[in-house]
């Protein structure tokens, strides 16, 4: 059901500084950049094999990522697992009685379909199901 790690998301205060770190430290470049208006975030995706590092910064004070940064500072925000069928994967999680953030799959960045699973039922890790 989980085919690959789609991305590891890191919340950052300064997207340009984070991109510069990855470029300077590892010589890697951003492959895709997108403002996700509905989530009030901007992402910069750096390819690692078939997966990505997703650098994530808020675009508004009321963004959930703003609140995360205020509370916990920069760092690991969520892990995205690639799934062949987001709806099917989400239904299974719900059917097992685990709390979810998204009751239904919704559009994500890069034309994906996504759904978030609540960290409180998942050992403190925010999980995103990502259907390419
Ligand atoms: Co994500």
Residue 91 has what DSSP assignment?
Answer: H
Strand bridging mode 30-36 / 51-58: unpaired
* Beta carbons of 130 and 114 less than 8 angstroms apart: yes
Q: Whole-structure pTM over 0.85, yes or no?
A: yes
Q: Which domain holds residue 23?
A: 4-131
- Tell me what the pLDDT averaged over the chain comes to: 97
* Beta carbons of 29 and 36 less than 8 angstroms apart: no
50: its two tokens: 């078939």
Q: Ligand 1 centroid vs 73 CA: distance in angstroms?
A: 18
* pLDDT tens digits, 49-89: 999 999 999 999 999 999 999 999 999 999 999 999 999 99
Report the number of distinct structural domains present in the chain. Answer: 1
Residue 108 CA to residue 52 CA, distance in Å, equals 14
Q: Ligand 1 centroid vs 108 CA: distance in angstroms?
A: 8
19: its two tokens: 């991109």
Q: Ligand 1 centroid vs 42 CA: distance in angstroms?
A: 11
* Sheet bearing 51-58, strands edge to edge: 30-36, 41-48, 51-58, 4-11, 75-82, 127-131, 113-117, 106-107
- CATH code for the domain in which residue 122 is found: 3.10.180.10
HSE-CB of 25 using CA atoms within 13 angstroms: 6
Q: Quick one: average pLDDT of 30-35?
A: 96
pLDDT for residue 71:
97
Rounded (to 5) percent helix, strand, coil in the chain: 30, 40, 30
Q: Ligand 1 centroid vs 55 CA: distance in angstroms?
A: 9
């Amino acid at each position: 059901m989980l085919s690959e790690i789609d991305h590891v998301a890191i919340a950052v205060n300064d997207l340009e500084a984070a991109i510069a770190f990855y470029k300077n430290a590892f010589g890697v470049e951003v492959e895709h950049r997108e403002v996700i208006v509905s989530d009030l975030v901007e992402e910069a995706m750096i390819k690692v094999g078939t997966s990505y590092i997703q650098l994530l910064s808020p675009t508004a004070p009321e963004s959930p990522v703003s609140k995360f940064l205020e509370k916990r500072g920069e760092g690991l925000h969520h892990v995205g697992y690639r799934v062949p069928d987001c709806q099917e994967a989400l239904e299974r999680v719900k059917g097992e009685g685990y709390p979810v953030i998204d009751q239904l799959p919704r559009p994500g960045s890069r034309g994906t379909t996504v759904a978030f699973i609540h960290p409180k039922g998942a050992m403190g890790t925010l999980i995103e199901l990502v259907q390419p």
